[in-house]
Amino acid sequence: MIAIIDYDAGNIKSVEKAVQFLGEEAIITRDRDVIMDSSGVILPGVGSFGDAMGKINEYGLKNVIYDVVDSGKPFLGICLGLQLLFKTSEETPGVTGLGIVDGQILRIPDAPGLKIPQIGWNSLDINPKARLFKGLPEHPYVYFVHSYYLKADHEEDVAASTFYSTNIHASIEHGNVFACQFHPEKSSTVGLQILKNFIELEA
């Protein structure tokens, strides 16, 4: 069973439906016991860094997330869920994120002919050792909706990158912590394979 953390962030139902489509039980919850009893945990998210951290703190989920990570259970952040894994974001200066992985969340630089937020499909340069991308072609296309991006401190954490005005670290793998800036649940067969790979990690 995959637990999808409910902190009033958008896009949760589409993640649930994608997991269920793959034949895995999924539950949207903020109950600590349910989360800790699951085989894997997903932190989705659409919205602002500051508002999201406010809700995570309000619902007492911060320590639950730390406990999941410490347990070695597979953990997947999606979109804003990736950004929340880091300590700070230029989107909301002064708000402290989870600080689980080292890096910076920065605003995508303006560039001629490019719109911000980035909304649409972009190809990935994937690390062939990355477990989330097992069985995928070399440059798969995935769907992004974001104005802020990750610049990881440690290259070994980067599972995939892309280019949109700047080099973007689009996915990370840090021990049992995985995250994608893009939306696998909206990325057609490629995204379903990524979610399938994540679900199978629990075994």
Q: Enumerate the active-site residues.
A: 79, 183, 185
d(CA 189, CA 52): 29
Coil vs helix vs strand at 52: helix
Coil vs helix vs strand at 118: strand
- C-alpha distances in Å from residue 5, one per residue of 34, 118, 136, 191: 10, 25, 27, 19
Residues facing 43 on adjacent strands: 77
Which candidate, 147, 50, 148, places its Cα nearest to that of 93? 50
* Tokens coding 180: 């994608």
d(CA 160, CA 98): 21
| Residue 118 near residue 145 (C-beta atoms within 8 A) | yes
- Count, residues in the chain: 203
